[in-house]
Chain A
Amino acid sequence: MLKRTTFFFLVIFLVFSISFGFAESIQPYADSVFMSAYISLANTRDATFVGKTYDEQASIYVTSCTLQKKDSSGWFHFCNLPSPPEVCTNTYTYGGWADYASFIGVGTYRIKATFNADGYEITRYSNERSF
């Protein structure tokens, strides 16, 4: 009986361990402030940044922006990028644009950017694109 009880608790422990480990590996993208936040990397090497919030924000802008490149082992930091200059105030909708032609060469790239809405920040990745 003792063995069965021990086995039962061991199984419960393993299940919870696996669950918590899995939860840590996934960064939830659901967001209570943003309905939508994305970066679209175009074939012309420019990027469009869009953020849409549920509530009105005093300011929405992009605080940081980096370029990532893909190699055989995955994505790695390639270089920092200037953030789009737009700061949208008293609005629900952010729109920004930047030309990164001088940063992007041959290869597969994506952009990582952090959106800020009244101090609340989320980080999102663009679509990947090969040039």
Chain B
Amino acid sequence: MSLPERSPIAEIVDAINNNQLTADEMERRLIERIDAEYTKGNQADIRLINACEDLLSEMRGECEATFARHKAAYHQCIDDALAEKARAAAPRKRPMRVAAVAAALVCALALGGIASFRWMNGRSTIDQQQYAVQGHEVTLAAIQSCIAGNAGMDRMVTTDWNEVVALLGFEPLLPTEYLTEWTVREYAVLVTRDMVDLSVAYAKHDFSSDNLRYSLTYFSNSENAYLAVEQNEEGYYVSIEDVNVYVTENVDRSIFNWHVGNEVFSISGAITKDEGIALIANLIERK
């Protein structure tokens, strides 16, 4: 019988307890461990990284400096992307600060290789009554400084898709297939410093009580990424082209939730599981 593998954190803690580590050596080992995990990409152990970073923060007594090396690289990428975006910016109907937020978020999305995109995950609450998606890493915090002027929330409601595109400065992904019987009743856009949320309300052409909601949320800062959808109980995952789609029910309506990078999608309403999965497969294929 083989002994269970010890965690690197446990080894470091043991070394501290035995007075084998100086503060500098402990810091060096923690940073080395964080860097090693980052290089693993999707396989990185986020709990280990968090534990190491928490220890570093406590040692240094500050939060910002701990991640300075990672942030510096992100800052440069974001500054470059923002400068490029500013040159190409066109006048918008909405106040400039909203356009700036949207532009910054588009820049964030363009930085697809950044680690933050790996740190979004979803899980049911302990009582299984909600399914929540949350980010777990401080990586795109630099974006906060780029859009720091946008305190509060901007909200736009319209039935004109062109207004949505004009506001955001890009065309978000919308379901088009399998929705021939549905008509749009409302597009709603919420913009905060940390996210842009697009919600679409559909109703059946025949004015029945059936309805459908589609939501797409772009998070610019995974540390502040949080949303929740209602559910009866723990659902299950369906894999569609390597994307894990969470499937559950809210009372008697189907509900689907999935995320690609820092974009979180939700669909809920009077559609069957098979219809929903077909619709989502089409969305994922077009992305």
Asked if A91 contacts B132 (CB within 8 A), the reply is no
> By the criterion CB–CB under 8 Å, are A96 and B224 in contact?
no
Give A129 Cβ to nearest chain B Cβ, in Å. 9
For B194, list chain A residues within 8 Å (CB): 40, 42, 48
What is the predominant secondary structure among interface residues of chain B facing chain A? strand
Q: B228, A36: Cβ atoms under 8 Å?
A: yes
The residue from B213, B223, B229 contacting A92, defined by CB atoms under 8 A apart: B213
Identify which of B4-12, B33-41, B67-75, B148-156 touches chain A: B148-156
Closest chain B residue to A55, Cβ basis: B211
Known A93-B157, A99-B151: A31·B230 in contact at CB below 8 Å: yes
How many A residues touch the partner, as a band? 35 or more
A36 touches B215 (CB 8 A): yes
Selected interface stretch from A11-19, A21-29, A66-74 = A21-29
What size tier do the contact residues of chain B reach?
Answer: 35 or more
Say whether, besides A54-B269, A92-B186, A97-B153, A30 and B201 are in contact (CB < 8 Å).
no
Q: How far is the CA of A97 from the CA of B153 in the complex (A)?
A: 6
Q: List residues 25-48 of chain B with CB under 8 A from any CB of chain A.
A: none
Q: Do A93 and B186 touch across chains, with their CB atoms under 8 A apart? A: yes
Q: What CA separation (Å) do A111 and B185 show in the bound complex?
A: 31
Contact between A38 and B185, CB atoms less than 8 A apart:
no
| Interface core residue of B194, B226, B269 (most chain A CB under 10 Å) | B226
A-side contacts of B197, CB under 8 Å? 50, 95
Q: What mask results when residues 53 to 67 of chain A are scored 1 for a CB within 8 Å of chain B, else 0?
A: 011100000000000
Q: Is the CB of A29 within 8 A of B213?
A: no
B134 within 8 A of A: yes
Residue in B129, B209, B211, B252 whose CB lies within 8 Å of A28: B129
The 5 A-B pairs with the shortest beta carbon distances in the complex, nearest first, are A29-B129, A93-B188, A97-B153, A92-B201, A95-B190
Knowing that A29-B129, A36-B227 touch, tell me 15 more A-B residue pairs with CB under 8 angstroms: A28-B232, A29-B125, A32-B250, A35-B253, A35-B255, A36-B230, A36-B266, A38-B227, A50-B227, A52-B215, A54-B213, A91-B186, A93-B188, A97-B152, A124-B228
